[in-house]
């Protein structure tokens, strides 16, 4: 890959915008390597199960997915096409027609219209935590499994939030900007230690709980609110209403998914309910906070500062002059306020997180392609069947169908003359998915089985691996 450098003029100097894919950074140490979870393993090669013809499997990777992903696919013999950014809809629709797998991040939208064109698509990998950008139900009905990375970025987000907390309390970003412009201001007014302050975590999931641990380690009190009862870690305390959390927390931070229930979760009444002189941090989703209410809270002095990593509308590409009033109409008002930290959705943007995400999602895609394993799929029944050392004449059948009675009987009728070594079936309401290993089979058998399964009216997809 050639070096691609975009120059972004800023404050009398030029910075490289780090699109350089060859330029691996230097800093990870042995200690970093030991921090990678051991469970990420290289795909074993003992079993002779293989897809129809692996070398023909085409994978499209968009949005500058981590090198690890590209490398691991190529090593296995897949054809990989990789792009730095997302693709415009027309190009996407064109390219998606003949790929078998696609990897995206948060900007590419795989709507029904796009997926309709994806005749060969087996699997979608979201190299991030969010899957809202994919029409999950439509994909399932097409037999396309969608995978994501549910917690590879938790630590990265939690660390960023902690830095935001201290930086807000010390007004570091303002002071640094002032000093870069020549102004010396070492006032301690409204600057605080974070020791013994209270963090209120809204949403105690993977990220919320990681943050809980870090904040307690820094000597802060932690309270949290969640729609479920969740076991507290350390000395954190769950509170029963969000109002109680808002009234007690010095720092309020959001770690909820984007759902209809969380839209404008923080709006005028919530800002009013917060403590005088508190801070708000949002690194969850842009729809969760009503930014106008936030601005009002800042202007009145109710809030002493905010840190935002996500916005209702975010640019689809990197570049200058993109984050403006045209995108979000309150932009100029927001950036005029003091002690406002704004970051471009970088909560999960670390080499470590991207690396682990890259390995994790790629492994899920590869496992689905080569073995039909759908564990951790977000829209598909989760099925896995152990590998065995097969003779050359074994066959793995992957059959996804509508979840109505009688289909499994029909399938097993078709397979009745063969020896079924193992079979596992699951459903998730609308779609059912069954993996069956049979042996021995002949070449004729394979075609015959395929044709018969293909004709079943309730069939969604059928794949054979041998």
> By three-state DSSP, how is residue 423 classified?
strand
Q: Which residue has the tokens 């059948």?
A: 397
Of 163, 227, 375, 420, the one binding other proteins by CB under 8 A: 163
Interaction of residue 37 with other proteins, rule CB under 8 A:
no
194 belongs to the binding site for other proteins (CB under 8 A)? yes
Q: Which is nearer to other proteins, 150 or 315 (CB)?
A: 315
Q: Do residues 296 and 268 touch, judged by C-beta distance below 8 A?
A: yes
DSSP 63-122: S---HHHHHHHHHTT-EEEE-SS---HHHHHHHGGG-SEEEE-SS--B-HHHHHT-TT--
Paired tokens of 434: 């069954």
Least separation, in Å, of the C-beta of 86 and other proteins? 12
Shortest distance (Å) from residue 150 CB to other proteins: 17
The answer to the question of residue 222 lying near other proteins (CB under 8 A) is no
- Is the Cβ of residue 100 or residue 275 nearer to other proteins in the bound state? 275
Instruction: Spell out the residues 6+ positions from residue 115 whose beta carbon is closer than 8 angstroms to its own.
Output: 96, 121, 135, 138, 139, 142, 144
Q: Using the rule CB under 8 A, is 329 a contact of other proteins?
A: no
Please, which of residues 286-315 interact with other proteins by CB under 8 A? 314-315
81 noted as active-site residue: no
The residue range among 90-98, 288-296, 321-329, 384-392 that interacts with other proteins, by the rule CB under 8 A, is 321-329
DSSP element (H, E) containing 211:
helix 206-217
CB of 304 to other proteins, least distance (A): 12
Angle of helix 154-170 relative to helix 172-180, nearest 10 degrees, comes to: 70
Question: Restricting to residues 415-434, which ones interact with other proteins according to CB under 8 A?
Answer: none
* CA–CA distance, 71 with 359 (Å, rounded to integer): 10
Q: Which of 121, 112, 114 lies closest to 144, judged by CA?
A: 121
Structure tokens at 291: 């930014």
User: Which DSSP string do the residues of 381-393 spell out, in sequence order?
Assistant: -----------TT
Q: Give the Cα separation of 309 and 19 in Å (integer).
A: 20
- List, in order, residues 6 or more apart from 119 with CB less than 8 Å away: 97, 98
234 is an interface residue for other proteins by CB under 8 A: no
199 is a site residue for other proteins (CB under 8 A): no
Binding residue for other proteins, selected from 56, 81, 113, 183, defined by CB under 8 A = 183
CA distances from 171 to 79, 190, 201 (A): 49, 9, 21
Instruction: Report how far residue 410's alpha carbon sits from residue 454's, in angstroms, rounded to the nearest whole number.
Output: 12
Nearer to other proteins, 83 or 424 (CB): 83
User: Residues 63-82 vs other proteins: string with x where CB under 8 A?
Assistant: ---x----------------
Binding span for other proteins by CB under 8 A among 29-37, 285-293, 395-403, 443-451: 29-37
Task: Write down the least CB distance from residue 129 to other proteins, Å.
Answer: 14
CB nearer to other proteins: pick between 167 and 278: 167
Residue among 72 and 167 whose Cβ is closer to other proteins: 167
Interactions with other proteins, residue window 102-141 (CB under 8 A): none
Query: Is 172:223 a contact under the CB 8 Å cutoff?
Result: no
Q: How far apart are CA 4 and CA 15, in angstroms?
A: 13
Least gap, CB of 336 to other proteins (angstroms): 9
2 lies in the binding site for other proteins (CB under 8 A)? no
Q: Is the CA virtual torsion 115, 457, 375, 57 positive or negative?
A: negative
Residue 7 has a CB neighbour count (10 Å cut-off) of 9
Q: DSSP state, 288?
A: G
Is position 40 an interface residue for other proteins (rule: CB under 8 A)?
A: no
Selected catalytic residue, list 175, 206, 255, 285: 285
277 binds other proteins (CB under 8 A): no
Q: Is 39 a catalytic residue?
A: no
Question: CB of residue 274 vs other proteins: minimum separation in angstroms?
Answer: 20
Binds other proteins (CB under 8 A): choice among 352, 403, 421, 458? 352
* 27 is a site residue for other proteins (CB under 8 A): yes
Region near other proteins per CB under 8 A, out of 44-52, 132-140, 142-150, 352-360: 352-360
CA dist., res. 281 & res. 203, Å (int): 13
Interface with other proteins (CB under 8 A), residue from 72, 173, 287, 370: 173
Q: Name the active-site residue from 314, 333, 352, 421.
A: 314
Partners of residue 425 on adjacent β-strands: 434
Residue tagged active-site, from 175, 255, 345, 396: 345
> Quick check: 1 binds other proteins (CB under 8 A)?
no
Pairing of strands 198-202, 221-225: parallel
Q: Is there binding between residue 333 and other proteins (CB under 8 A)? A: no
Contact with other proteins (CB under 8 A) among 75, 81, 98, 320? 320
Q: Does 180 bind other proteins (CB under 8 A)?
A: yes
Answer yes or no: 100 catalytic: no
- Count of residues engaged in binding other proteins, rule: CB under 8 A: 82
Task: List the one residue out of 421, 424, 410 whose CA is nearest residue 373.
Answer: 424
**Active-site amino acid positions:** 285, 314, 345
């Amino acid at each position: 890959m050639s070096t691609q450098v975009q120059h972004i003029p800023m404050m009398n100097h030029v910075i490289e915008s780090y699109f350089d894919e060859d330029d691996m950074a230097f800093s990870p140490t042995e200690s970093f390597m030991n921090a990678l979870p051991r469970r990420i393993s290289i795909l074993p090669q003992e079993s002779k199960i293989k897809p129809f013809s692996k070398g023909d499997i085409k994978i499209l990777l968009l949005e500058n997915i981590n090198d690890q992903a590209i490398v691991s696919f190529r090593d296995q013999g897949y054809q990989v096409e990789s792009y730095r950014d997302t693709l415009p809809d027309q190009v996407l629709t064109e390219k998606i027609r003949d790929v078998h797998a696609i990897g995206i991040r948060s900007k590419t939208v795989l709507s029904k219209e796009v997926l309709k064109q994806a005749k060969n698509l087996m699997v979608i990998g979201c190299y991030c935590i969010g899957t809202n950008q994919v029409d999950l139900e439509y994909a399932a009905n097409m037999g396309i499994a969608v995978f994501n990375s549910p917690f590879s970025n938790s630590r990265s987000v939690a660390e960023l939030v902690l830095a935001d907390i201290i930086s807000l309390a010390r007004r570091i970003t303002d002071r640094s900007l002032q000093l870069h412009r020549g102004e010396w201001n070492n006032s301690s007014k409204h600057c605080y230690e974070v020791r013994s302050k209270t963090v209120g975590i809204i949403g105690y999931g993977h990220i919320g709980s990681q943050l809980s641990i870090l904040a307690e380690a820094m000597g802060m009190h932690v309270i949290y609110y969640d729609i479920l009862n969740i076991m507290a870690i350390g000395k954190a305390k769950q509170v029963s209403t969000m109002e109680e959390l808002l009234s007690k927390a010095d720092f309020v931070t959001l770690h909820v998914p984007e759902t209809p229930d969380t839209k404008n979760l923080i709006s005028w009444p919530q800002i009013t309910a917060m403590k005088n002189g508190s801070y708000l941090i949002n690194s969850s989703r842009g729809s969760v906070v009503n930014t106008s209410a936030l601005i009002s809270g800042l202007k009145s002095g109710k809030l002493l500062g905010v840190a935002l990593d996500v916005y209702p509308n975010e640019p689809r590409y990197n570049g200058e002059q993109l984050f403006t009033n045209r995108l979000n109409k309150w932009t100029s008002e927001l950036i005029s306020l003091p002690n406002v930290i704004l970051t471009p959705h970088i909560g999960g943007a670390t080499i470590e997180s991207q690396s682990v995400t890259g390995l994790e999602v790629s492994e899920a895609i590869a496992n689905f392609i080569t073995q039909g394993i759908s564990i951790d799929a977000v829209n598909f029944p989760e099925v896995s069947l152990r590998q065995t050392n097969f003779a050359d004449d074994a066959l793995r059948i992957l059959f996804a169908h509508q979840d109505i009675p009688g289909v499994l009987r029909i399938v097993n009728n078709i397979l009745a003359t063969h020896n079924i070594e193992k079979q596992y079936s699951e459903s998730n309401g609308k779609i059912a998915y069954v993996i069956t290993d049979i042996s021995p089979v002949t070449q004729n058998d394979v075609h015959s089985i395929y044709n018969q399964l293909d004709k079943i009216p309730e069939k969604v997809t059928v794949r054979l691996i041998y």
